[in-house]
Structure 1
Amino acid sequence: MADAALEVWGDPIEHSLSPALHAAAYRQLGWDWTYGRRRVTEAAFPGELAASAPALRGLSLTMPLKAAAFAAAATRDERAALTGAVNTLLLTGAAPRGFNTDVGGIVRSLAEEGVDGVEDARIVGAGATATSALVALAELGARRVEVAARRPAAVTPLQVLGDRLGITVLPVPLTADPFAPVPLTIATLPGGAPLEPLTADALATGGGLLLDVVYGHWPTALSDAWERVGGRAVSGAGMLLHQAVLQIRIFRSGDPAEPLPDETAVVAVMRRALVGG
């Protein structure tokens, strides 16, 4: 494909693994594309976008820019519309097109763990990533989702979204003990977030498979707890990988559902890049 420049923006951004993932994919595909990173604050985002968009094919957005990217997008896919978050901007048309690939990243990551459907689940944390987790659970058929949060009032927006999705969202205090058994737990707490060992153990007991979206601070307090009770925990590395695959699909064709050429090989080289191989 023709030369193209793409970037990932966020604040902070130095830790991002996206450049390695995208570069590996572009080499495998034989594309002469570049993918850089830039520290952009939320306040600076509109000006940076206006100045840079003409030279870029697309952008990946990480925290704290997903809401700002949502506002900047002229059109949004369904996942972005539901979550209010855009992590991918396609800049090849007359106006930016916004997408949320985090939801698909969660769904595809869970599929690799043998989870292609679930009725009940628990989300730990009620921040922005919890919204993508809830939409992903809806796509997997969930009808009842507990949200364990330090402030149960923070769960209210997720309850509103749950009503739209046909899911009963139940807030529970993060200090609850015992928690009801569930087959799947998705943890959305920031990496390094403190958690009392007793609380972590209570969540792990009967918590099913743990998908902890953290990938840069591993193991986490929760993954350690899952190990103590003999449970199974996976990091957010798979989510990161698969949301990047969906981004590259978008950057290529504008359609996250259109597979890449020889996508199996592309995913394989990206996975190796993720672990530094």
Structure 2
Amino acid sequence: MTPTLSPRTALFGLLGHPVAHSLSPSMHNAAFAALGIDAVYLAFDVEPGRLAEALTGSRALGVAGWNVTVPHKEAALALAAEADPRAELVGAANTLVPVRAGWRAHNTDVAGFARALAEDLAFHPEGRRCWIWGAGGAARAAVVALALGGAQEIRVMNRNAIRARLLADELGSRLGPTRVAAEDLAAFAPRPGDLVVSATPAGLSDDASWPWDLGSCRELFVYDMAYRRGAETPLVVQARALGHRAASGRSMLLHQGAEAFRLWTGREPPLDAMARAMEPSGPEPGDSFR
């Protein structure tokens, strides 16, 4: 149902690049409609380096809240006037709430990722070894979620080895007793029962490739933070064909979005309505992180 808009309609939205295929507008607009909230959620494509301009202008316009996705999550934290301890621990924000001095930064990806692993893969990190490919805001949230869940060891891989090492050194110093270390891609050698996470948007591409060979591994848990509207990502398809348990980021999107909704509105989100709004409606890829 198309909302009736007026000057009193509250505006929420997503800032990222790209955002054209995001399911967040469908999800949040369904939630507003289900609860009778006079609000609308839109996606805005903001080029790298222009987040500060967007936040300044939106503050003047009275925007009621933002989600932030790649590539702006770390910048969103730096630009916020206040930050929730979880966002400070991660070093990245995906949700902004207006406060008197500007914006308060939150990170709902941590809780969303942990819940998605439990629901989609029946995976619980306590005492486990985990491998993460990526070194941006999503990877940082994954590291924190797994460490808070009791993971024994987290190995961070990235084509830019320096970024992986910086992430591991920074978060490892805060997340003991979990061991967080950068790992060379050539040393990827998971054991049965390990978790492998792609914390990049690579899965949005039909010709995506990953710097590992899952065919030589047994009984892995594989999670791709990317998702698609009408099909699974290539990594999930490949992993399942090889006998691994695998899932993509749709439920992570739902649960991090639900937590953002609570922060903005103080209301309990209608999860069923939000999930229905995310049902596949076409073959286009969706933005995994929002």
TM normalised by structure 1 equals 0.86
Matched, 1:269 2:273: yes
Alpha-carbon offset, residue 174 of structure 1: 2.5
Of 34, 38, 42, 2:44 maps to: 38
Equivalenced residue count is 264
Of 110, 115, 124, 1:108 maps to: 115
1:233 partner SS: strand
Correspondences of 1:115-154 after superposition (within 5 Å) = 115-128=123-136, 129-154=138-163
Q: Is 2:12–2:39's contact at 8 Å kept on the other side of the alignment?
A: yes
Change (3 A) 1:33 1:154: same
2:197 maps to which residue? 186
TM normalised by structure 2 equals 0.82
After TM superposition, where is structure 1 displaced by more than 6 Å over at least 4 residues in a row? Answer: none
> Residue deviations 1:175-207, cap 9 Å, x none?
3464333442222132234236x72323xx235
Stretch of structure 1 that moved more, 214-223 or 153-162: 214-223
1:194 partner SS: coil
User: Which structure has the higher relative contact order (CA within 8 Å, separation 6+)?
Assistant: 2
Change (3 A) 1:147 1:21: same
Q: Is 2:165–2:181's contact at 8 Å kept on the other side of the alignment?
A: no
2:123 partner SS: coil
Matched, 1:163 2:173: yes
* Amino acid across the alignment from 1:213: M
2:15 partner SS: strand
Q: Is there any run of 5+ residues in structure 1 with no aligned partner, and where?
A: 254-259
2:156 partner SS: strand
Q: Is 1:6–1:35's contact at 8 Å kept on the other side of the alignment?
A: yes
Q: Is 1:200–1:221's contact at 8 Å kept on the other side of the alignment?
A: no
Question: Identity over aligned residues, as a percent?
Answer: 34
Q: What CA RMSD, in Å, does the superposition of the two structures yield over aligned residues?
A: 2.3
* Amino acid across the alignment from 1:21: M
> Residue deviations 1:108-129, cap 9 Å, x none?
2122133344222323313212
* Amino acid across the alignment from 1:157: L
Quote the Cα distance in structure 2 between the aligned partners of 1:37 and 1:71: 21
Alpha-carbon offset, residue 60 of structure 1: 0.9
* Amino acid across the alignment from 1:187: S
Quote the Cα distance in structure 2 between the aligned partners of 1:221 and 1:273: 23
2:233 maps to which residue? 220
Q: Is 1:123–1:188's contact at 8 Å kept on the other side of the alignment?
A: no
Quote the Cα distance in structure 1 between the aligned partners of 2:188 and 2:46: 41
1:96 partner SS: strand
Matched, 1:245 2:258: yes
Alpha-carbon offset, residue 146 of structure 1: 2.2
Alpha-carbon offset, residue 25 of structure 1: 0.8
Quote the Cα distance in structure 2 between the aligned partners of 1:94 and 1:28: 32
Q: Is 1:151–1:173's contact at 8 Å kept on the other side of the alignment?
A: no
Change (3 A) 1:82 1:206: farther
Q: Is there any run of 5+ residues in structure 2 with no aligned partner, and where?
A: 1-7, 282-290
2:286 maps to which residue? none
